[in-house]
Amino acid sequence: MKKFLGKISVLSLVLIMALFAVACDSGSKEGPSQEEAPDVVEGDNELETDEGDAGGEKTIAFVPKQLGNPFFVAIKDAMEEEAGKEGYIFKTNAPDASTEVDKQINIAEAFIEEGVDALVLGPTDATALVDVINSAAEKGIAVFLVDSGADESDYVSYIGTDNYEGGILAAEWMGENVKGQVAIIDGFAGNEATTQRYKGFMDAIEEYPDIEVVTSDYGNGDLSMGMSVAENFLVAYPDLAGIFAVDDMMAIGAGQAVEAAGKKDSVKILGFDGQPDAAEKILEGTLDATIAQKPATMGRITVEFITAFLNGEKVDSFISTGCDIVDISNAELYKEWQ
């Protein structure tokens, strides 16, 4: 028995020495080093799991003016879809109406307290949201504005339409298609987006001597209120030839008022947003045109630029998504959000 154990020990020793020799010899062969080989595997894993990217477990919170307007829903849906692709947690909440400034502030403050990584705002008021923006920035939260801007504050970027230029485009359409008295249905006081549309329109309409802007009133972005304001315009100015509503919900309401008054052929209606519903109304003849924004584009590229910023890349402070004139010639193309 002892002899057998001895033979095994000698044999084992020989085998160990042989294996050691082979290992030493293989180490001298050319090929990837131990430091190079794992990098390929780790890189593949990172691509699959998004580890180390800006996505992963980071959270984006979106607080628009409201979610009763299809325009803001389109931004939200596109943003949520893109956020899901990038591996973000996506949260949203909004006031019931675009005039509820305090409620929007409270919602945003709750997300700040929660400690989200990026906060996307569509400010209901350009001035009132400044403290919220600065508070978020102080806590290291990246703030992006979409659709509406804000007064000077610590946001990263505004992504959306150049609303002043959109107002100019609206004035050009009105000047080329209408002669006579024109009225404006504005959004609401403090709304930077609609204020800029109004300003752009008023500055550019001066180039058209055949147009006289006779009155304006706030419609608060509401269809029924837009209808009511338009009804008042039609009574006060029986020779009215055109109405510019600074969003499509109010324009649709104005169209209903004009149609009910039997003046569809004499009063042209121009909206702003490019809603699919507005495109349908143009095809039906209730509206004449709208200035189309691109909310789906806004939602998608907002997430793209959040990712770029969180990854340390430089992001421009203003990113325009453009706008187009939609009328009977191309309305069919705008039955889906751009």
The pLDDT confidence band at residue 189, using thresholds 50, 70 and 90, is confident
| 221 found inside a domain | yes
Beta-carbon neighbour count of residue 7 at 10 Å?
10
| 53 found inside a domain | no
Predicted local distance difference test score (pLDDT) of residue 57: 87
Largest CA distance in the chain: 123
| 272 found inside a domain | yes
Per the structure, the count of domains in the chain is 2
Residues 113 and 188 in one domain: no
Domain with 137 in it: what CATH number?
Answer: 3.40.50.2300
- Which domain range does residue 142 map to? 59-161+295-322
pLDDT tens digits, 43-102? 222 323 233 345 458 999 999 999 988 899 999 999 999 999 999 999 999 999 989 999
| 108 found inside a domain | yes
Nearest 5°: phi and psi at 312?
Answer: 90, 10
Residues 301 and 156 in one domain: yes
CA 306 to chain CA centroid, Å, is 12
- pLDDT of residue 15 exceeding 70, the answer is no
Beta strands in 176-288 (DSSP E): 180-186, 211-218, 240-245, 268-273
Residues 313 and 267 in one domain: no
How many Cα atoms occupy the beta-carbon half-sphere of 316 within 13 Å?
7
pLDDT tens digits, 260-280? 999 999 999 999 999 999 999
Predicted local distance difference test score (pLDDT) of residue 56: 55
Residues 149 and 175 in one domain: no
The residues, any chain, with a CB within 8 Å of residue 253's CB and separated by 6 or more, are: 219, 222, 223, 224, 225, 226, 227, 228, 229, 230, 245
Residues 167 and 127 in one domain: no
Residues 209 and 315 in one domain: no
Residues 81 and 117 in one domain: yes
The pLDDT confidence band at residue 19, using thresholds 50, 70 and 90, is very low
Predicted local distance difference test score (pLDDT) of residue 66: 94
| 207 found inside a domain | yes
Residues 218 and 270 in one domain: yes
Q: Classify 223 as helix, strand or coil.
A: helix
Rounded CA separation 24/125 (Å): 73
CA 184 to chain CA centroid, Å, is 26
Residues 112 and 186 in one domain: no
> Are 162 and 320 spatial neighbours (Cβ–Cβ below 8 Å)?
yes
Residues 288 and 275 in one domain: yes
| 273 found inside a domain | yes
Distances from the Cα of 271 to the Cα of 181, 243, 253, 261, 278, angstroms: 17, 8, 10, 19, 8
Token duo for residue 24: 């030493």
pLDDT tens digits, 118-173? 999 999 999 999 999 999 999 999 999 999 899 999 999 999 999 999 999 999 99
Residues 203 and 141 in one domain: no
pLDDT tens digits, 107-130? 999 999 999 999 999 999 999 999
Residues 139 and 200 in one domain: no
Predicted local distance difference test score (pLDDT) of residue 27: 36
Pick the most confident of 12-21, 22-31, 68-77, 137-146. Answer: 137-146
> Are 68 and 37 spatial neighbours (Cβ–Cβ below 8 Å)?
no
